[in-house]
Amino acid sequence: MTELITINDLKVHYPIRSGFFNRVNDYVYAVDGVDFVIEKGKTYGLVGESGSGKSTTGKAIVGLEKVTDGQIIYQGTDVTKRSNRKKIEYNKDVQMIFQDSMSSLNPKKRVLDIIAEPIRNFERLSDQEEKKKVKSLLDIVGMPEDALYKYPHEFSGGQRQRLGVARAVATNPKLIVADEPVSALDLSVQAQVLNFMKRIQQEFGLSYLFISHDLGVVKHMCDNIAIMYKGRFVEIGTREDIYNDPRHIYTKRLLSAIPRIDVENRELHKENRRRVEQEYINSQKDYYDSTGRVYDLRTLSTTHKVALKDGGAS
């Protein structure tokens, strides 16, 4: 197995302060004990509803969020510590793309400077070399050369996401965390952006952690998928495990909520949705404990794990 990153029991808890003395009186358990392995060249999907902890997980992995507990091991080094990240230039190898490219690309900077910025942190290039490198990156994401001297607001949403990808691949990373990279785009543009992200993955041998609330989008991108609910994984498996053999009611509900376009099977889908909702109502206890927390993951196969009560439905 070609492991790139191993995540052990990762927790990110945000303190909630209140009162006159602004004391910490509680925590948001944004990420509450997740484990997974990212292999080289593969794509992982992280799916769940709003507030389930997806972005927090992604940000913790790239070092943008402080880890409360657990470890992130990158090629043998514990990168939960900032000093270790620096030592091995972790921030060069792991990059992030955000949903909202309008606010993640500095509006006051030209494209040349935006894309060159991460390169400048790690390499000393002459102006000529730098320009050449940025031009080649623009070419890779299908943008014309004259974009160099323009500003982010002069581009469409889809074009800006391409610029975000160009910036993310500028340092030749090993992993890109893509947080809802196409959610703000029209369907047709979504497909374009996803396709060139796939192409770039092959060219660079990248791994992706692809964050989305939409199991439909993830299906075409991801080799492995983790379903997240309230800071925990409810199910994790290969694409086939998740789409052909979902075991957790939460996964089943997400799947049955994907809009269908095939008219012939409309009745079938309706019936399936009804069945899933019935199961959801009848079998709460198999899937959630008395506090509404999901159980620990149980192993079903070498690839497939699901959070079920011992002896419960499967």
Nearer to ligand ATP among residue 60 and residue 308 (C-beta): 60
The whole-angstrom separation of Cα 303 and Cα 309 is 19
Site string for Mg ion, 120-159 (x = CB under 5 A): ----------------------------------------
Q: How far is the CB of 215 from ligand ATP (least distance, A)?
A: 13
Scanning 2-10, 53-61, 106-114, 216-224 for contacts with ligand ATP by CB under 6 A, the matching segment is 53-61
Is 52 a binding residue for ligand ATP by CB under 6 A? The answer is yes
Given candidates 13, 34, 36, 53, which one binds ligand ATP under the rule CB under 6 A? Answer: 53
Q: Residue 33: phi, psi to the nearest 5?
A: 95, 70
First to last CA, the chain: 29
Q: Which residues contact 232 (CB under 8 A, 6 or more apart)?
A: 32, 33, 34, 293, 294, 307
In the list Mg ion, ligand ATP, none, the entry touching 273 (Cβ below 5 to 8 angstroms by class) is: none
In the list ligand ATP, Mg ion, none, the entry touching 212 (Cβ below 5 to 8 angstroms by class) is: none
Q: Count residues near ligand ATP (CB under 6 A).
A: 12
Nearer to ligand ATP among residue 231 and residue 246 (C-beta): 231
Using DSSP, state whether 96 is helix, strand or coil: strand
The whole-angstrom separation of Cα 257 and Cα 182 is 19
Residue 10, classified by CB atoms within 10 Å of its CB into exposed (0-12), middle (13-18) or buried (19+), is: buried
The whole-angstrom separation of Cα 90 and Cα 61 is 10
The whole-angstrom separation of Cα 171 and Cα 179 is 19
Beta bridge partners of 74: 5, 77
Is 118 a binding residue for ligand ATP by CB under 6 A? The answer is no
In the list ligand ATP, Mg ion, none, the entry touching 50 (Cβ below 5 to 8 angstroms by class) is: ligand ATP
Task: Quickly count helices (H) and strands (E) in the chain.
Answer: 13, 12
Nearest-10 crossing angle of helices 127-140, 157-169: 130
Nearer to ligand ATP among residue 97 and residue 111 (C-beta): 97
Site string for Mg ion, 50-79 (x = CB under 5 A): -----x------------------------
Cα torsion 133, 136, 140, 145: sign: positive
Given candidates 213, 219, 253, 273, which one binds ligand ATP under the rule CB under 6 A? Answer: 213
Q: How far is the CB of 196 from Mg ion (least distance, A)?
A: 23
Nearer to ligand ATP among residue 55 and residue 207 (C-beta): 55
By CB under 6 A, the residues from 18 to 47 that bind ligand ATP are 28, 30
Question: Footprint of ligand ATP on this chain (CB under 6 A)?
Answer: 14, 28, 30, 48, 50-56, 213
